[in-house]
Amino acid sequence: MSKQQRRYFGTDGIRGRVGDGAITPDFVLKLGWAVGRVLAKEQNSRVLIGKDTRISGYMFESALQAGLSAAGVDVYLLGPMPTPGIAYLTRTFHAQAGIVISASHNPYHDNGIKFFSGEGTKLSDDIELEIEAMLDEPLTTVESIDLGKAVRIEDARGRYVEFCKSSVPLKMNFSGMKLVVDCANGATYHVAPDVFKELGAEIVVMGAEPDGFNINQNCGSTEPRLLQAAVLEHQADLGIALDGDGDRLIMVDHTGQIVDGDDLLFIIARSLKLRGKGSSEIVGTLMSNLGLEQALAAHDMTLHRSKVGDRYVIEKLKETGGTVGGESSGHIICLDKTTTGDGIIAALQVLCEIRRTGSTLHDLKSLVTKYPQTLINVRVKKMIDITMDQTISDAVKMAEDQLADQGRVLLRPSGTEPVIRVMVEGRDATLTQQLATDIANVIKTSIENS
Segment 199-245, tens digit of pLDDT: 999 999 999 999 999 999 999 999 999 999 999 999 999 999 999 99
Average pLDDT, the chain: 93
Confidence bin at 143 (pLDDT 50/70/90): very high
Segment 21-34, tens digit of pLDDT: 999 999 999 999 99
Encode 279-315: b = buried (16+ Cβ within 10 Å), e = exposed: bbbbbbbebbbbbbbebbeeeebebbebebbbbbbbb
Single out the residue of 158, 160, 152 nearest to residue 75, CA to CA. Answer: 152
In the predicted structure, residue 309 carries a pLDDT above the cut 90 = no
3-state secondary structure 353-376: HHHHHCCCHHHHHCCCCCCCEEEE
Confidence bin at 1 (pLDDT 50/70/90): very low
Measured distance CA(13)–CA(298) in Å, rounded: 37
- What percent of the chain has a predicted confidence (pLDDT) above 70? 97
- What percent of the chain has a predicted confidence (pLDDT) above 90? 84
Measured distance CA(67)–CA(59) in Å, rounded: 13
Segment 387-420, tens digit of pLDDT: 788 999 999 999 999 998 788 999 988 766 788 9
Q: Which member of 56, 104, 167, 328 is catalytic?
A: 104
The predicted pLDDT at position 2 comes to 43
Segment 415-435, tens digit of pLDDT: 667 889 999 999 899 999 999
156-165 helix and 83-92 helix, angle to the nearest 10 degrees: 100
φ, ψ for residue 288 (rounded to 5)?
-60, 140
Is 446 annotated as catalytic? no
Pairing of strands 97-101, 150-152: unpaired
The predicted pLDDT at position 387 comes to 77
Confidence bin at 195 (pLDDT 50/70/90): very high
The predicted pLDDT at position 381 comes to 77
The predicted pLDDT at position 416 comes to 65
Measured distance CA(130)–CA(1) in Å, rounded: 9
The predicted pLDDT at position 3 comes to 45
- Which structural domains are found in the chain, ordered by start? 3-154 (3.40.120.10), 160-365 (3.40.120.10), 373-449 (3.30.310.50)
> Which whole number is the average pLDDT over 429-444?
94
Rg (CA), the chain: 22
CA 215-216-221 angle, 5° bins: 140
In the predicted structure, residue 44 carries a pLDDT above the cut 80 = no
Provide the 8-state DSSP code for 162: H
